[in-house]
Structure 1
């Protein structure tokens, strides 16, 4: 059996009166992430971790922000497409561990739904999806609520 790990990172600018989607969950907040798709920073970091582990480049290579097909698209679809790319190469996903860094809103109440959304999209058990959140202690662009960051690691395997 061959096992690989991958690391993903994403950052998005926050804008007033803009939708805020994280982990496929629409969060009620006065600011939201801005981007070409729905700007789901968590799912983008997970996509990059998976693609990196399989040596399939990165999310921007497969889903260019200049391509109108991806404009405003749900990042759940991008994650599903990422999984298809891995499956074409014979990879199976073992687990995902992710960290969000933002000042607000509080993420903890939404983690079970995020886990369920991700587990369904990639076809693994909810118990194999870990999501954590922290603040930046009001420092830097995250502390000023100018942006949101996500990190993710994953394990993939093939027989």
Structure 2
């Protein structure tokens, strides 16, 4: 068994879309980022890479490379999964914690879990998703922390 941990955070600003877990969430603010800024998928990508000592998202997809400007984070996640699978790894379970003061994510929970399960090739009962607020400490940020468990 292997375990990987990853985290990511982004500043939020008006006039940008908010992507989490591969879905656009209705919101007046979105992530300031080179890619689509999906902190959830960035954290999962880093966790997968960490489990096999493969570096991190910034190493594979540097933010100073124009090829990755505006790219959907599913591309990063698919590449990390492909690299792990090439080494014999098989994703077994994920736990993801999202910290965001606004908008509230609970109305989107089922859609987020379903999309994560689809993207990761896992049954929904192996996708743990928790929501937290920063209690006003970081009102204009989104943070994601991910833990992955793999066979191989």
Provide the C-alpha distance between the structure 2 equivalents of 1:28 and 1:123, rounded to a whole number of angstroms: 25
Q: 1:67, CA displacement in angstroms?
A: 1.8
- 1:19-34 superposed matches below 5 A: 19-34=17-32
Instruction: Kindly state the Cα deviation for residue 42 of structure 1 after the two structures are TM-superposed.
Output: 0.6
Q: What count of residue pairs does the alignment treat as equivalent?
A: 152
SS in 2 for 1:86: helix
For residue 43 of structure 1, report the CA deviation from its aligned partner.
0.6
- In structure 2, the residue matched to 1:80 is 78
Instruction: Name the Cα RMSD after superposition.
Output: 1.1
TM-score computed with the length of structure 1 as normaliser: 0.91
| Residue in structure 2 matched with residue 64 of structure 1 by the alignment | 62
For residues 108-158 of structure 1, the C-alpha deviation after alignment (integer angstroms, 9 at most, x for no partner) is 12122222222222211121111111111112xx2xx22111101010111
TM-score, length of structure 2 as denominator length: 0.95
Of 12-21 and 108-117, the range deviating more from structure 2: 108-117
The answer to whether residue 126 in structure 2 is matched with residue 128 in structure 1 is: yes
Q: Among 112, 128, 151, which residue is 2:145 paired with? A: 151
Q: In structure 2, how many angstroms separate the alpha carbons of the residues matched to 1:80 and 1:118?
A: 12
- Three-state SS of the structure 1 residue aligned to 2:118 is helix
The CA distance in 2 between the partners of 1:113 and 1:4, in whole Å, is: 28
Separation in structure 2 between the aligned mates of residue 152 and residue 97 of structure 1, nearest angstrom: 6
Structure 2, gaps ≥5 residues long? none
Describe the SS at the equivalent of 1:113: helix
Moved more, 73-82 or 40-49: 73-82
- Structure-2 separation of matches of 1:125 and 1:8: 21
Written as runs of structure 1 = structure 2, the 5 A alignment for 1:9-48 is 9-48=7-46
Aligned counterpart, 2:51:
53
Cα drift, residue 69 of structure 1: 2.0
Superposition deviation, residue 38 in structure 1: 0.3
